[in-house]
């Protein structure tokens, strides 16, 4: 059950909107193109808005059509209706393409676009965003799990295209399709983990731990604060975490449920160092300046993470954000240049299927002071 909104947008000569007679003719010519989908439409209200814009509302038996005409020639319209069949559209893609052609032919439009129906407040949310806030609609079948823990909102969805998908605080975290993410974080094929001591900060989905163990490291310590994530991933994302979350103490690994920052401070007191430290926690924030709670948290993690990395040979490995977020990446690199320990870094990028974008990964080599 959900509302559907079908956007219908086009551009005409501004004179057709400025002139009352031409504006009325434009609307009279527009309605017959839409009525095959809506049924006969009756005008409910009409208003002149500031800036020379006009708003007209129409209604049929079970649909509405709102039309806003801007003084610059832009016309934005929306067909809206309620349906119990959330994934059944009353205006399908082929209809939309045909309507675009008719708008150009009948109204002399310079541009016309009809988008698929936007689902309004369905019981199961299918919408998430890319790292730069572009909307993605997923082919969600069902929600397998949801809980607000002490730390975050944890959800797991089943999708047709990407398998089960972990979502944390309304952001895609990892899906069963996303081995490229884990291999990108590891810089798979270039870095050698055999016989190494590794620390994972976060990584509650278990994917990174599972892939690292295949390379026979000396020992891997993983610290994640939210046990709910790990319990549900070993149940619903078993294809990515294998059986490494079935027990938290293995022959060459240990999973700690706790605060990574507190544990790293203890490691510093002990003088403990790791060959590889993975930052698999928060993404780089999108902001105009590197300020705020998320940036402060990220700086703390990286500063501590690089300090517990073995200088001269060790690396701090982390994901960043989508490669299109160039300003955020520049701000992140400025933070790397200001760390308490000297570092150099390289970057790689990999397409992550469920994110529907290329992500940037950093390999930060910790230098001797």
For the stretch 338-369, pLDDT in tens is 999 999 999 999 999 999 999 999 999 999 87
Pair type for strands 135-137 and 140-148:
unpaired
Burial profile 62-83: b = 16 or more Cβ within 10 angstroms, e = fewer = ebbbbbbbbeebbbebbbbbeb
In the numeric block, the tokens 């959900």 are attached to 2
- Is residue 280 annotated as a catalytic residue, yes or no? yes
Least confident of 31-35, 50-54, 115-119, 309-313: 50-54
Q: Could you read off the pLDDT of 300-343 as tens digits, one per residue?
A: 999 999 999 999 999 999 999 999 999 999 999 999 999 999 99
The residue annotated as part of the active site, out of 280, 283, 296, 340, is 280
Tell me the pLDDT of the chain averaged across its residues.
Answer: 95
Q: Could you read off the pLDDT of 232-289 as tens digits, one per residue?
A: 999 999 999 999 999 999 999 999 999 999 999 999 999 999 999 999 987 777 776 7
pTM to 2 decimal places? 0.92
Among 72, 75, 77, 76, which residue's Cα sits nearest to residue 58?
77
The predicted pLDDT at position 22 comes to: 95
Q: Could you read off the pLDDT of 4-24 as tens digits, one per residue?
A: 999 999 999 999 999 999 999
Q: Could you read off the pLDDT of 40-58 as tens digits, one per residue?
A: 999 999 999 888 899 999 9
Tokens of 23: 């504006």
The predicted pLDDT at position 47 comes to: 94
């Amino acid at each position: 059950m959900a509302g559907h909104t079908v956007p219908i947008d086009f551009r005409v000569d501004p004179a057709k909107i400025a002139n009352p007679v031409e504006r009325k003719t434009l609307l009279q010519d527009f309605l017959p193109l839409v009525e095959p989908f809506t049924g006969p439409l009756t005008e409910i209200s009409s208003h002149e808005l500031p800036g020379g814009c006009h708003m007209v509302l129409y209604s049929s038996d079970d649909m509405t059509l709102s039309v806003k005409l801007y003084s610059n020639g832009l016309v934005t319209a929306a067909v809206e209706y309620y349906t119990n069949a959330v994934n059944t559209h009353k205006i399908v893609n082929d209809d939309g393409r045909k309507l675009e052609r008719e708008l150009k032919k009948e109204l002399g439009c310079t541009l016309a676009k009809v988008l698929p129906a936007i689902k309004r407040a369905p019981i199961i949310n299918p919408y998430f965003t890319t790292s730069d806030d572009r909307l993605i609609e997923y082919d969600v079948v069902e929600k397998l799990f949801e809980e607000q823990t002490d730390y975050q909102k944890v959800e797991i969805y089943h999708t047709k295209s990407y398998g089960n998908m972990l979502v944390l605080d309304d952001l895609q975290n990892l899906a069963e399709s996303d081995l490229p993410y884990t291999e990108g974080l590891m810089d798979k094929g270039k870095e050698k983990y055999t016989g190494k001591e590794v620390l994972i900060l976060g990584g509650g989905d278990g994917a990174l731990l599972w892939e690292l163990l295949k390379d026979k490291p000396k020992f891997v310590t993983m610290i994640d604060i939210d046990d709910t994530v790990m319990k549900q991933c070993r149940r619903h994302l078993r294809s990515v975490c294998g059986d490494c979350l079935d027990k938290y103490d293995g022959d060459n690994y240990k999973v700690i449920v706790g605060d990574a920052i507190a544990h790293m401070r203890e490691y510093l007191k002990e003088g403990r160092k790791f060959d590889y430290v993975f930052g698999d926690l928060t993404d780089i924030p999108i902001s105009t300046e590197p300020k705020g709670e998320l940036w402060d948290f990220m700086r703390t993690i990286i500063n501590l993470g690089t300090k517990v990395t073995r200088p001269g040979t060790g690396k701090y490995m982390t994901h960043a954000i989508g490669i299109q977020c160039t300003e955020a990446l520049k701000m992140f690199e400025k933070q790397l240049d200001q760390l308490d320990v000297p570092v150099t870094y390289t970057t790689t990028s990999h397409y992550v299927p469920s994110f529907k974008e290329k992500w940037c990964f950093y390999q930060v080599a910790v230098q001797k002071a």
